[in-house]
Amino acid sequence: MDEAFWQNKWELNQIGFHENKPHPFLVRFFPELCLEKGARVFVPLCGKSLDIHWLLAHGFSVIGIELSIIAIESLFQELGLVPQITQASKVQRFVAENICIYAGNIFALTQAELGEVDATYDRAALIALPDTMRIEYARHIADITNKAPMLLVTLDYDQACLNGPPFSVRTEEVLRHYTEFYTVQMLDKHAVSGGLKGKCPATEVAWHLASK
């Protein structure tokens, strides 16, 4: 999976992965991270997710990273904000009020640029990456966030039934990638209504990752 794939999706407006409401697992389980208002929440591969609207509305500061400038510009437009744009090493920085979105490859984002974060919310990043990249991604997130607690959402389905993304990430893989850095707890799981893309049964799983 290369950058051109996702850039093309946004350019053609093929964004069926964009949800029209905040994710139920976010609404239900994010309070369990016990963050104070004003806490900085990192959202990797954020797109223009309405989850960001929810986090901002509940008093959190959001830091995200996204490949597509189209997605970032649309996010700020929908928030009714005009960002200041500056260059930060290999990524661009879009900033307005309590939100900062970096434009670029997540692996180019450093801990120094990201700054201190209080939590990570990953609903669509891990499952967007092929298996050859997921172990590197998990380590990178732990490094740049200093193992901040995380609410992680994954999908579990028969990968032979449907090509990703989103990819199937099963329990054993979550444990393999994250137990070096976090105490991993499954919070809940539920069947995807109508199946994944209407083609095969799938289960969505919520995880709480606490720093060791």
Report which secondary-structure segment, H or E, holds 158: none
| pLDDT on residue 16 | 57
10 is in an annotated binding site: yes
66 is in an annotated binding site: yes
Task: Kindly state the DSSP code that residue 36 receives in the 8-state scheme.
Answer: P
| pLDDT on residue 131 | 92
- Which residues of the chain register pLDDT less than 70? 1-2, 6-7, 9-19
| pLDDT on residue 27 | 97
Helices 131-144 + 171-178 axis angle, to 10: 40
Name the amino acid, one letter, at 181.
Answer: F
3-state SS, residue 5: helix
Say if pTM beats, i.e. exceeds, 0.85: yes
123 is in an annotated binding site: yes
143-162: burial string, b at 16+ Cβ within 10 Å, e else: ebbebbbbbbbbbbbeeeeb
- Say if CB 48 and CB 18 are below 8 A apart: yes
| pLDDT on residue 17 | 55
- Say if CB 149 and CB 203 are below 8 A apart: no
pLDDT in tens, 190-205: 999 999 988 899 999 9
**Which domains are seen in the chain, by residue range?**
3-153 (3.40.50.150)
209 is in an annotated binding site: no
| pLDDT on residue 56 | 98
89-117: burial string, b at 16+ Cβ within 10 Å, e else: eebbbbbeeebbbbbbebeebeeebbeeb
Distance from chain centroid for Cα 194: 23
| pLDDT on residue 57 | 97
